[in-house]
């Protein structure tokens, strides 16, 4: 679980995001939504210790700033929105997810190799394991990095626009994977611009508006507050009946 209390994020007097109170639990998928530039990515970067903060951010009761980089990496995995193209194989890239768990010899154990393969099979990149990351398509690279984050085997997983480069079928598969991880007890936090996808596939919604967390709650309760959504996003969502719908929530004015 990640808990934020009276948090300000930024550099010096430049405040990028304010959070009075926010809880990100295990076993649930939380979508962070808001307009471009509102601070969604800023929030995720702070939760992995990339950005300085005032106030309190606790990981399972321990203050974030008190933890070493290695300890943070054992507790929180982070998939950024912008992905690099290193000159390495997909298998090597995914293997980087195990570095915080390596023993004193700093070599991959049988358990590490098993975790790497399972993550690659889960994200459908096992067949690409010998390919160079720089030769992948945008969607393939996104899935390879997702495999790296999953292989890190952390209680919390932070994904910044994880479906941005994926085609429709792989977006649906990514949603299935996130649900599986949550069902296994991991906490999954995603940023998203796709409101139907966020409301249909997540358990909780966190709204960022004017560089401030203005609401957090279960999907149904947030969807019911049309004024809140319209002010933050310019549109609302509405639940549509139908058993065969991929996304039971749709956009509305």
Residue pLDDT, tens place only, 39-57: 999 999 999 988 889 999 9
What pLDDT, on a 0 to 100 scale, did the predictor assign at position 244? 77
Q: Which of the listed CATH numbers 3.40.50.1000, 3.40.50.300, 3.20.20.70, 2.60.120.260 matches domain 2-252?
A: 3.40.50.300
- N-to-C CA span, the chain: 35
Tokens of 104: 């004193």
Beta carbons of 136 and 168 less than 8 angstroms apart: no
Q: What is the pLDDT of residues 15-31, one digit of tens each?
A: 889 999 999 999 999 99
Beta carbons of 4 and 30 less than 8 angstroms apart: no
User: CA 95, CA 159: separation in Å to the nearest integer?
Assistant: 18
Closest listed residue to residue 138, CA positions, set 164, 173, 168: 164
H or E stretch covering 169: helix 168-183
What pLDDT, on a 0 to 100 scale, did the predictor assign at position 88? 96
User: CA 75, CA 174: separation in Å to the nearest integer?
Assistant: 21
Residue ranges of the domains in the chain? Answer: 2-252
H or E stretch covering 20: strand 14-24
What pLDDT, on a 0 to 100 scale, did the predictor assign at position 105? 65
What's the whole-model pTM score?
0.93
Residue 49 DSSP SS3: coil
**Regions of the chain where pLDDT drops below 50:** none
């Amino acid at each position: 679980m990640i808990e934020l209390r009276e948090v300000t994020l930024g550099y010096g007097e430049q405040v990028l995001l304010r959070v009075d109170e926010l809880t990100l639990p295990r076993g649930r998928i939380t979508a962070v939504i808001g307009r471009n530039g509102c601070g969604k990515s800023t929030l995720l970067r702070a939760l992995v210790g990339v950005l300085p903060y005032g106030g309190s951010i606790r990981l399972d009761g321990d203050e974030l700033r008190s933890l070493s980089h290695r300890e943070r990496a054992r507790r929180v995995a982070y998939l950024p929105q912008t992905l690099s193209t290193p000159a390495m194989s997909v298998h090597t890239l995914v293997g980087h997810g195990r570095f915080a768990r390596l023993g004193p010899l700093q070599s991959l154990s049988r358990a590490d190799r098993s975790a790497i393969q399972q993550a690659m099979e889960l994200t459908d990149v096992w067949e690409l394991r010998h390919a160079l990351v720089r030769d992948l398509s945008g969607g393939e690279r996104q899935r390879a990095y997702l495999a790296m984050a999953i292989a890190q085997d952390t209680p919390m997983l932070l994904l910044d626009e994880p479906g941005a480069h994926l085609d429709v079928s792989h977006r649906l598969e990514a949603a299935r994977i996130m649900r599986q991880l949550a069902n296994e007890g991991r906490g999954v936090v995603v940023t998203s611009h796709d409101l139907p996808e966020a409301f249909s596939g997540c358990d909780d919604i966190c709204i960022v508006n004017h560089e401030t967390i203005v609401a957090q709650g279960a999907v149904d309760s947030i969807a019911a507050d049309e004024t809140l959504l319209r002010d933050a996003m310019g549109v609302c969502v509405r639940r549509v009946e139908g058993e065969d719908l991929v996304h039971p929530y749709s956009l509305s004015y």
